[in-house]
Amino acid sequence: MHQALGDIPAALGFLDRAVTLAEPEGYVRVFADEGPPMAALLRAAAKQGPRRDYVRRLLAAASGIEHNGPTEQALIEPLSERELDVLRLLGSELDGPAIARELMVSLNTVRTHTKNIYAKLAVNNRRAAVRRGAELSLLPRTRSPRP
């Protein structure tokens, strides 16, 4: 209602309260079903709120419904160069320790990058991250094997 009346700060205040109550329970659909007006508020909240990861997840869900598919939505926060390196290697057969050796970093660093990648891409696992990265053209196209 506040958003419709043009009072965005009040709308963001109420949204922050709703997010605070919804996050522990993992509610997503209640926000996503509200469509484009909610997506606009979530975009504003993602830039300033303390619960950015959860708000990004909500925004990904709301944007997916709003655009009828995840391929049209852009990332709120782009992946760093190192996160892109990790994402490329997540698409390989390498496990976590092997990725760490390949990048010459600790396993904990790889885990941190992976967690950030999952949050930014709004996914929960390696396969989904690679698929989402491909949808967003973050990964090079794989060539089909020669006959």
Domains and CATH numbers, the chain: 8-72 (no CATH), 81-135 (1.10.10.10)
* Res. 41: pLDDT tops 90: no
Q: Tally Cβ neighbours within 10 Å of residue 5.
A: 9
What's the DSSP call for residue 137? T
Considering the entire predicted model, what is its pTM?
0.50
User: DSSP H helical segments within the chain, as ranges?
Assistant: 8-22, 29-32, 36-48, 52-66, 81-90, 96-103, 107-121, 126-135
Q: What confidence tens digit (pLDDT) does each residue in 85-97 have?
A: 999 999 999 999 9
- Indicate the range of 23-27, 80-84, 119-123 predicted with least confidence: 23-27
CA distances from 25 to 29, 31, 33, 81, 109 (A): 12, 13, 17, 33, 29
